[in-house]
Structure 1
Amino acid sequence: MGTVSSSPASADFRALLTPEGQSLLDALRDHDPAQELALATRLRREHPAELVSAALAQARLRQRAVAKFGPADAARMYFTPNGVEQATRTGVAAHRAESFRALGVRSVADLCCGIGGDAIALARAGISVLAVDRDPGTCAVARANVAALGLDDLIEVREADVTEVDTSAYDAVFVDPARRSAKRGRIFDPEAYSPPLSWAVSAALSAPRAALKIAPGIPHEAIPPEAGAEWISDAGDVKEAVLWFGTEPGRMRATLLPGPRELVGRGLPDPEVRSVGRYLYEPDGAVIRAHLVAEVAEQVGGGLIDETIAYVTSDELRVSPYASAYEINGQLPFNVKKLKVLLREREVGVLTVKKRGSAVEPEELRRKAMPKPYGKRAATVFLTRVAGAPTMLLGEPVSRAGA
């Protein structure tokens, strides 16, 4: 992701790249944060205090980065706090790189490259990359990552304003605008991105192929007619949306990772509303964001429990990779006291609360309805609406579809 502040590569970071800094990082590879104070005291007897502090900070960032980059890469790469938070998860970046490769792309201008996560994935797919960011410190980290992973022959990191870079020599453009501000936090207005979404779209339209990474909550009416859109979830969590240019405009799809599994929209009408059947299907978040609940309903032979709620119900069990299935064994109007009695009767000790179309907080309901375990059974309660009425549905998971 692009950065919005400008600061030179610090002397402390440069010191980490020296033999002494590398030795310190190696010594901290598996350090225990609980023992950090004692460790820091010992290391400061042998190394400059500033270098020890920088190495400890980098070691902490590497531990945080394992969740996104995996232990092998995280142990070799370099990070900034914003870089860890905003970088694309490796599985998602690899999927996008493979999508570019499948389109015949051999070179990409990665605009707003951040610490280089997407550039690395593109290079590993055999694509040459120009990685651009305007922040000197971020570029220094990206260069260090390219060198650490042995990708110098495929990635050029350039410090520049992305709006001034000539991308005409590249097969494709990838833009990941900054969607956070140091002062305002998360940015919801696409025109307040850095650079603005309108500029990113114009850059995409000038390239043979392009992909723009955007927030998954983008309204469908804000999607340019020249673009197709892909919503991506990883292990059930929606991670991002991507606008694709130069291929199948208007195509809406949901991609579920790992896999990948891809559901493509066919313009189906909204499913009919029906009474709650034996099974309830909870579509993956990417499916919901892509407005493809109708495609799931068709797969499972079901309908909606409410015209405004993305829960699908059916009387038969059909496995779909795009939804989780639950067997419903209780339905009652919203009433905490009645729910408490029911949980006690069923000897429930572990309660999962899901909600869609309800203002009640799950933790608040869990605390009131089950102040203590009533037994050892597990149950799931859905706080939702059925035909417009606040309703609680009790059920048990049948399977994670497609597992």
Structure 2
Amino acid sequence: MEAAELAALLTPDGMALLDRTPGVSDGGEIVRVVSRLRSEGHDPQLVSAVLTQAKLRQKARGKFGDFAARMLFTEAGLEQATRLQVAAQHAGRFAAAGLTRVADLGCGIGGDAMAMAALDLDVTAVDRDEVTAAVATHNLAVWPNARVELGDAAAFDVSRVDGIWMDPARRTSGHSDTRRLADPDDWSPSLDTVFAAATSTPTGVKLGPGIDRDLIPDTAEAQWTSVDREVVELALWFGPLARPGIRRAATVIGAHGIAEMTGPADAEDAEVGPLGAYLYEPDGAVIRARLIGDLARALDGHMVSDGIAYVTSDRAVTTPFAQGFRVLDTMPLDVKRLSARLAADGIGTVEIKKRGVDVDPAQFRKRLRLRGTGRVTLVLTRLDGRHSAVLCERLS
């Protein structure tokens, strides 16, 4: 969305038109909405802006729920925005640490600032992009304790606040079709600038979950968060925002609510042993935090192979930190033998998981020539140094 489109949208007529335009997704629906709005005599630029926002609001429901219906977005801003349930966890850190004045530096469309303002924190949200800052201003307008400033996060006077939240821009500038920047020196602000600020001010930092772990300072608590089994971020916490004695945390959010596994450092791996009655696939946040060994010990289990993130146990355990499977059988990883076995068992639907083997699951599934009504999970991995297939069923 460009500045001219936003200006047309941020008028009483523009917002009224947006609020009565439903969310759109498929092509036929888009054509009908455009045709209707054009026939009503609306300016083509305004129609384009309204249609873009209607689509983004529909898409944003997964991150913002009912709040999305009153918010504005840019494509890049929505893609990079923190999910509201995760932002609430961030805000809770500042509130629990007694920090009442917080700067959200690199605020984007304002997702984290919204969560902070909702906890009655005094929030100053800063973004260097004019359109993005205007969108954030709209999204934060209902909270008198939040304000948006147009400016460079690196130049912000941190003496104005008690704590800072930073989300360094890790993509090229723009509102759509941005690309990822691999070098932390190219981020805005750079990672060195972020860590320098953290030495003097209580700081939280949002980063991508796959960041090089060698870049994580020893002074930080590193918290990986997953939502519905997808790892969405790494947050680093400094000063009073970091919890005493904790340097690694895996926070798992899902239908069960919120669960967390923590440790003072990377956990020592559990020993390797034979496949038991049950196989467990750790949540991605647990894997990223390198707490797999602690999970294995909590399950009275062990690893199936060195360097492979599967845990096995003879106990059936329901845990938010892993998906559990009952082991039905094991076979060599031979597609012809597997195909014959699945056909004999009447298996027509197969969920394929893999670790430690070079297999394309989609192509492998085609080669199985499945037929029948039964279902099974097929785990392709290494057991005793050999490529193997484990036939399983999910634990309820």
TM-score relative to the length of structure 1: 0.91
Is 1:265 the counterpart of 2:260? The answer is no
2:61 to 66, 79, 84: 66
- Residue number in structure 1 paired with 2:32: 38
Structural mapping, 1:162-177, within 5 Å: 162-177=153-168
Is 1:179 the counterpart of 2:170? The answer is yes
SS at match of 1:185: coil
Amino acid at match of 2:149: R
Query: Once the two structures are superposed, what CA deviation does each residue of 1:315-365 show, in whole Å capped at 9, x if it has no partner?
Result: 122332211110011211211111111111111121101111122111111
- Residue number in structure 2 paired with 1:317: 316
377-386 or 214-223, which moves further after superposition? 214-223
Q: Does the Cα contact within 8 Å between 2:221 and 2:238 map onto a contact in 1?
A: yes
Q: Does the Cα contact within 8 Å between 2:246 and 2:262 map onto a contact in 1?
A: no
Cα gap change, 1:186/1:387 in structure 2, threshold over 3 Å: closer, same or farther? Answer: farther
SS at match of 1:186: coil
Structural mapping, 1:296-307, within 5 Å: 296-307=295-306
- Residue number in structure 2 paired with 1:24: 17
Cα gap change, 1:314/1:204 in structure 2, threshold over 3 Å: closer, same or farther? Answer: same
State how far apart, in whole Å, the 2-side matches of 1:260 and 1:205 are: 30
Structural mapping, 1:244-259, within 5 Å: 244-246=237-239, 247=242, 248=244, 251-258=247-254, 259=257
Q: Does the Cα contact within 8 Å between 1:229 and 1:251 map onto a contact in 2?
A: yes
Q: Unaligned regions of 5+ residues in structure 1, if any?
A: 1-6
SS at match of 1:139: helix
Aligned-residue Cα RMSD (Å) equals 1.8
- Residue number in structure 2 paired with 1:368: 367
- Residue number in structure 2 paired with 1:384: 381
Q: Does the Cα contact within 8 Å between 1:300 and 1:319 map onto a contact in 2?
A: no
How far 1:186 moved relative to its partner? 2.1
- Residue number in structure 2 paired with 1:395: 392
SS at match of 2:160: coil
State how far apart, in whole Å, the 1-side matches of 2:187 and 2:386 are: 39
State how far apart, in whole Å, the 2-side matches of 1:68 and 1:112 are: 19
SS at match of 2:395: strand
Query: Once the two structures are superposed, what CA deviation does each residue of 1:242-286 show, in whole Å capped at 9, x if it has no partner?
Result: 110013376111001142211012554311100111100111100
Q: Does the Cα contact within 8 Å between 2:25 and 2:55 map onto a contact in 1?
A: no
Query: Once the two structures are superposed, what CA deviation does each residue of 1:287-313 show, in whole Å capped at 9, x if it has no partner?
Result: 000000011111110000001101000
SS at match of 1:44: helix
Cα gap change, 1:184/1:58 in structure 2, threshold over 3 Å: closer, same or farther? Answer: closer
Runs of 4+ in 1 over 6 A off after TM superposition: none
With CA pairs under 8 Å and 6+ residues apart, which has the higher RCO, 1 or 2? Answer: 1
Q: Does the Cα contact within 8 Å between 1:174 and 1:210 map onto a contact in 2?
A: yes
2:7 to 14, 27, 31: 14
Aligned residues: 385
- Residue number in structure 2 paired with 1:295: 294
Q: Unaligned regions of 5+ residues in structure 2, if any?
A: none
| Aligned-residue identity in percent | 42
Q: Does the Cα contact within 8 Å between 2:281 and 2:309 map onto a contact in 1?
A: yes
48-57 or 314-323, which moves further after superposition? 314-323
- Residue number in structure 1 paired with 2:148: 157
